[in-house]
Structure 1
Amino acid sequence: MQKNEKTNLVWFRNDLRTIDNAVLAEACKNGKRVIGLYCFDPRLFELNAYGFKKTEKFRAKFLIESIKDLKLQLNALNIDLLVYHDTPEAVVPKLCETFNVSSIYLQKEWTQEEVDVEIAVKSKLSNIGWHSMYNQFLYHPDDINFEIDNTPQVFTVFRKKLEKYIAIRETIQTKKQSEEYRIDNNTSITSLADLGFEDFQPHPHSAFPFKGGEREALKRLEDYTFNTKKLGVYKKTRNGLVGVDYSSKFSSWLANGSMSARTIYWKVKQFEQEYFKNQSTYWLIFELIWRDYFKYIAMKHRNHIFKLGGILQKDYTWSTNASQIEQWINGETPSDFVNANMIELKETGWMSNRGRQNVASYFAKELELDWRIGASYFESLLIDYDVHSNYGNWMYVAGVGNDPRDRKFNVQLQAERYDTSGTFRRLWLQPSLF
């Protein structure tokens, strides 16, 4: 490597893929050396204000698997991934000096913690180009037909403004780089032990036994759409509670960016062209639009998504009763349906969409507990935690977000409807029977 060789640095965060990665593709365009960076930021594994680890073992393991796969995928493009267990503001300036970095490329984020880290990194750099770009949407912000500050407060209005009028962009390919640009990479990928966890195997009853990484994501996408054609019955099965295939399970790979929403969209369109189009194929895209919606809501309302009054700035009286919170976490409430879902989450890092809505409604509407504590617990445990969807959904259920009807779930009726035979509850409350 020539010492004066200019280098583009790709700082990976929640965009851990090589396919349809606008940041990576842009960095690779101009013929300079490209190197990748991922930081296991220690702050993401510390206790938060509510006493939960910001990232628990389930998502940590999935993340490590994703980084291992990203390294392999980048390697095939002749791009090295440097991995550190340190803060980005400590690592990036050193790399810029060592590798003569002229530009940094990264995915654009807008929530406070991510922005704060960017500011801390920028403050230690000089004369380095900074290229942050939107890279996590189905509907690209440059294409939408309204200002972000005018994002509709009701999802249906948002959806109707976009789905018939705005085209989805094609996926982006990244070109292979010259082998002469390879560097000496003596970094190693952080282990669970480095992060303070013991290694573990997925729970035998887990509805999400999958591994992290782009290859696993694409394998699941192919399996769910073309191999099993489960996509074709998605709308009928999506409220299920038991098993691997009642829903697509794409959310975890979407959350850390191992797969893009557009990759899923175009796979569904291919399926519709080759086989059939029905309510189920549409409904998967419908769910991707929901995901976009919460991202736009977070861009519009900024830190209000983390505040007690939410984006509506409503002044409810909330409790922080420690014993009720503990009972909810440990599955010891008067509701067996809530309990089963909470035990599933604690044991696997996963919970169905139906379960999430019910336990969150029970927490916020029945127990009238500070919804941010529940959201923070979800953030800690869920493999598919996504800041915008998590806080957007919790606000929605708590009555301080985008639900115009301000509903409260009747968890008993929900259990009777969605777990009629009690199979799900027995699975987690009496696991010895299975």
Structure 2
Amino acid sequence: MSETAVVWFRDDLRVHDNETLVEAVRAADEVVPLYVFDEREHAGAGMFDRPKKGARWGRFRREAVLDLRESLRDLGGELLVRHGDPRAVVPAVAETLDADTVHLQTKPATEELADEHAVKSLLAERDVGVERHWTHTLYHVDDLPTPYTDIQDTFTPWRKEVEREAAVRDSLPAPETVPTPDLGEAGDAAVPTLADLGHDPDEATADDRGVLAFEGGETAALERLEDYVWTGDHLRNYKETRNGLLGADYSSKFSAWLAHGCLSPRYVHAEVDRYEDERVSNEDTYWLVFELLWRDFFQFQFLKHGADFFAPNGIRDVRKEWRRDEEAREAFERWAAGETGVPFVDANMRELNATGYMSNRGRQNVASFLADAMGVDWRLGAAYFESRLVDYDVASNWGNWAYQAGVGNDSRDNYFDVLGQAERYDPGAEYVTHWLPELAGLPAEYAHRPWRLSEAEQAEYGVDLGRDYPAPLFDVEARYRNL
């Protein structure tokens, strides 16, 4: 008797190094790949009634699904595409196909796990088996030296233990063929448009001021890796340049493809190993793996702590008085719009709003400014990032925000002085004036601290504070002196 397996693709939109697909092909005679555009992700509301995902995330995801469909067709398969609630769609598809098993990627985030359990329960009622596969991290959860329930909550000792006692599994090649049966008209279902998904297509258009176009899909992911690591030969300088702010190649920019699962972290690791063997091995090349370890750390921390990451006082229950009143809400809206009157903060927020992306250095600074300098509930910022980022990943986003707010995995509760950071990482104010052209005529010292302009200097440089560029929310320099 032949066996039929459904492969439910989630945040693993690739055919390379995809255990879910490989194991289904190995075990079944017929394999039906399935992707469900989750109506709750695209049109639903998240915390504080913010949109869960933005148009740029939706555009990237749609491109990734289209690319996955082509990759599967190249392997003789097909991708069944649906739009709805996967908790209902996946069991219904399995029943229609008389499937024996559903293979799926499992992830640590609370909503994803809840969906997985709901699907598994309905499939059990239909006597359909479920095979879960861990595919989103560099290290496999089963290979951790200490079970995730007991791992360290501080990164450095966890990292050292993993590097000392665990090994990264080999990256799996794509299957040679994907034996999908004839799906008839169902197999020709069109991929929903952005408008169908509830997004405004105009909000997803590329902004030529951005660092990269961020085209979704495995094909674009592998091209970016090839361009960055091999053609551009940038890996040898990664640590040295990774805090840059302008341009495509100061950092790898792999985050969006990793978040959507178009690129496997194990494949990246294998390419770093090959680069170190064939070209150069130094601290810079290691640092890319170091960043993958940070990404892993938050995935495993979410598996351990779950919904506690969304609590105002975080996983450590640190007692802080977060501002949530109307004045704080108004201040938050100015932060979100890039209208705080602090150029380094505003430039980063305007880049996020225009492109769906922001550098790591920028993310740390705007998060610290909201939580530390403004005292506003950090979760508002995390939810706003969720609605804007093209590279949104629940564990990375909420873990990093909690960390910066002093309620997450770092007990030191440090803050970033955004004024000093701006002068250190953008000394000529090129980044600030790129995104705030109204300040382009100012010397760098004033572009970073425009409130120091006298009325005569405002007239001289043609910048009227309060009209051309907002006055700051508060005395920023005094605030940092008192933090």
TM-score grouping bracket, smaller chain normalisation? over 0.9
User: Helix, strand or coil: the match of 1:50?
Assistant: helix
1:376 matched to which residue of 2? 383
**What secondary structure does 2:188 align onto?**
coil
**Among 105, 109, 112, the residue aligned to 1:111:** 109
Distance in 1, matches of 2:242 and 2:399, equals 20
The whole-number CA distance in structure 1 between the counterparts of 2:419 and 2:180 is: 64
Alpha-carbon separation, structure 2, partners of 1:302 and 1:52: 21
CA distance in 1, matches of 2:401, 2:149: 21
Give distance in 2, aligned partners of 1:31 and 1:386.
Answer: 31
Residue of structure 1 in register with 2:30 after alignment: 33
* Kept after mapping to 2: 8 A contact 1:37/1:83: yes
Q: Deviations over 1:380-403 (max 9, x none)?
A: 100111111111100100000111
Counterpart for residue 466 of structure 2: none
1:187 aligns with 2:194: no
Cα distance, 1:149 vs. partner? Answer: 1.5
The separation in 2 between residues aligned to 1:245 and 1:189, in whole angstroms, is: 32
Amino acid of the structure 1 residue aligned with 2:319? D
| TM-fit CA distance, 1:50 | 1.6
More displaced stretch, 157-166 vs 411-420: 157-166
Matched, 1:364 2:371: yes
| Kept in 2: contact 1:5–1:100 (CA 8 A) | no
1:30 is displaced (CA, Å) by: 2.1
Distance across 2 between alignment mates of 1:179 and 1:137: 27
- 1:56 pairs, out of 41, 54, 57, with 54
1:353 aligned to 2:365? Answer: no
Contact 1:78 1:182 survives alignment (8 Å): no
Structure 1 stretch displaced more, 70-79 or 338-347:
70-79
**Equivalence for 2:65:** 67
Alignment match, 1:6: 3
Kindly provide the amino acid, as one letter, of the partner of residue 429 in structure 1: L
- Report the counterpart of residue 334 of structure 1 in structure 2: 341
Q: CA deviation at 1:150?
A: 1.6
Larger radius of gyration: 2
Shift of 1:5: 5.1
2:320 to 316, 321, 328: 316
| Aligned position for 2:259 | 255
Identity percentage of aligned residues? 42
Structure 1: any 5+ residue segments left out of the alignment? none
Contact 1:272 1:281 in 2 (8 A): yes
State TM-score, norm by structure 2: 0.86
Number of aligned residue pairs = 431
Deviation track 1:351-395 (CA, whole Å, cap 9, x = no partner) reads 000000000000111111111110000111001111111111001
Contact map agreement 1:345 1:381 (CA 8 A) in 2 = yes
Pick one of 9, 16, 21 that aligns with 2:18: 21
Asked if residue 221 in structure 1 is aligned to residue 221 in structure 2, the reply is no
Q: 1:79 touches 1:182 (CA, 8 Å); kept in 2?
A: no
**Alpha-carbon contact 2:25-2:179 (below 8 Å) kept:** no
- Secondary structure of 2:84's partner? coil
Structure-1 separation of matches of 2:116 and 2:51: 22
Structure 2 Cα separation of the partners of residues 300 and 412 of structure 1: 36
Q: Give the direction of change, closer, same or farther, for the CA distance of 1:114–1:210 in structure 2 (3 Å limit).
A: same
**Partner residue of 1:199 out of 198, 201, 209:** 201
TM-score by length of 1: 0.96
- Consecutive unaligned residues of structure 2, counting only runs of 5 or more, are 442-483
Q: 2:299 — aligned with what?
A: 295
Distance, in Å, in 1 between the alignment partners of 2:88 and 2:136 is: 26
User: C-alpha root-mean-square deviation of aligned residues, in Å?
Assistant: 1.6
Are 1:16 and 1:213, in contact at CA under 8 Å, matched by a contact in 2? yes
Match of 1:417 among 424, 434, 443: 424
Q: Distance in 2 between matches of 1:156 and 1:97?
A: 47
**Deviation larger for 305-314 or 163-172:** 163-172
SS of corresponding position for 1:101: coil
Q: Distance in 2 between matches of 1:257 and 1:178?
A: 19
Which amino acid in 1 is paired with 2:269? Y
Matched residues in 2 for 1:231 and 1:424: separation? 23
Contact 2:12 2:105 in 1 (8 A): yes
In proportion to residue count, which structure has more helix? 2
- Aligned-partner Cα distance in 2 for 1:342–1:138: 30
